[in-house]
Amino acid sequence: MSAWFTILDDRAALEISGADRAAFLQGLVSNDVTKAAAGAPVYAALLTAQGKYLHDFFIVALGEAFYLECERARLGDLQRRLSLYKLRSKVTLADASARFAIAAAWGDDALVKLGLAAGAAKPFAGGVAYADPRLVALGARFLIAAGRESEIAAAGFARADADAYDRHRLALGVPDGSRDLEVEKSILLENGFEELNGVDFDKGCYMGQELTARTKYRALIRKRLVPVKVDGPLPAPGTPVTHNGEEVGEMRSGRDDVGLAMVKLDALAGPLSAGEAKLTPQPPAWMKI
């Protein structure tokens, strides 16, 4: 079998319900929530007023609510921050983690096995299965009723551990939330959010829009998060990346011999090192550098 799935225990779901749920989110997040209201999965971020990263998540519609699939350890912080903007909006925010399991599936014909086209979603196991809106190569994601994970296996996927999926996304150069983006510091476009369909530049105002737009239209990107091949001991996150003795970046998450590093664009030709390891940048085809 060449298609796998794994349960993502470090992910959880925040429910946004109420008549004003779409308008409420639309004024806050980086992507167009009307697409989620129409049934398409959406990848988006919540930013500070200065345009720096706070949270990223997937938005999917199910019944009369939106569900934000987010980092489990930071769900409470996301709920708190969104609650600050409720004011008179008719919305309710609730932790739905106990009701749902989060999973990912990838490999040969992952979307075909589920009958999904790119950018599509469908009912599945008391919840929803959807094509990962960031990259087709990432496969599918699931927000399903807790206890029904076996239905993913029945669809033709072999169970794998979370490490296997982590290596898959690392090889593709895709960040994993606050493991790779610094809260209140990172800029979306340095971390691939434009190419990964996490920003809509035509949707109108949202919190942090000004910096995000200025970064794009004034070509202010000077560094990028890129996958690197690691020759030697895997450097810990935060380890400085150097080029000819000069610090040019920093390691982020990694596994085995692959990792992500934030590196100045003029240093990508290398040679690079971090700790006792040599690094070889391997920018993926989707990345515009």
Same domain for 86 and 9: yes
Distance CA 237, CA 221 (A): 22
Contacts of residue 136, defined as CB under 8 A and 6 or more positions apart, other chains included, come to 111, 118
Contacts of residue 238, defined as CB under 8 A and 6 or more positions apart, other chains included, come to 250, 251
Same domain for 150 and 241: no
Same domain for 234 and 145: no
Query: In the numeric block, which tokens belong to residue 160?
Result: 């794998």
Same domain for 115 and 28: yes
Query: In the numeric block, which tokens belong to residue 177?
Result: 């939330």
SS3 160: coil
What CATH number is given to the structural domain containing 59? Answer: 3.30.1360.120
Q: 53: which strand partners?
A: 47
> Nearest 5°: phi and psi at 65?
-150, 160
The answer to whether residue 198 is domain-embedded is no
Q: What secondary structure letter does DSSP report for 216?
A: H
CA angle (214, 221, 28) in 5-degree steps: 45
Number of domains forming the structure of the chain: 2
Distance CA 225, CA 246 (A): 18
> Would you say the C-alpha torsion 100, 15, 47, 288 has a positive or negative sign?
positive
CA dihedral 6, 188, 45, 160 (to 10 degrees): 0
The answer to whether residue 167 is domain-embedded is yes
Residue 69 Cα distances to 8, 9, 118, angstroms: 11, 12, 19
The answer to whether residue 238 is domain-embedded is yes
The answer to whether residue 191 is domain-embedded is no
Q: Which pLDDT score is estimated for 218? A: 84
Q: Which pLDDT score is estimated for 108? A: 86
Query: In the numeric block, which tokens belong to residue 24?
Result: 């409420």
Q: Which pLDDT score is estimated for 44? A: 98
Q: Which pLDDT score is estimated for 223? A: 96
pLDDT lower than 50: segments of the chain: none
pLDDT tens digit sequence for 7-44: 999 999 999 999 999 999 999 999 999 999 999 999 99
Same domain for 100 and 26: yes
CA angle (90, 37, 64) in 5-degree steps: 55
The answer to whether residue 187 is domain-embedded is no
Q: Which pLDDT score is estimated for 200? A: 96
Q: 250: which strand partners?
A: 240, 262
Contact (CB, 8 A) for 180 and 225? yes
Same domain for 156 and 27: yes
Domain that holds residue 110: 3-171
One-letter amino acid at 54 equals: L
SS3 253: strand
Distance CA 22, CA 133 (A): 19
Q: Which pLDDT score is estimated for 289? A: 84
pLDDT tens digit sequence for 221-243: 899 999 999 999 999 999 999 99
One-letter amino acid at 124 equals: F
The answer to whether residue 215 is domain-embedded is no
The answer to whether residue 34 is domain-embedded is yes
Query: Which of 171, 188, 214 represents a domain boundary (last residue)?
Result: 171
Q: Taking the model in full, what pTM does it have? A: 0.96
Query: Which of 132, 155, 171 represents a domain boundary (last residue)?
Result: 171
Same domain for 241 and 158: no
Q: Which pLDDT score is estimated for 1? A: 54
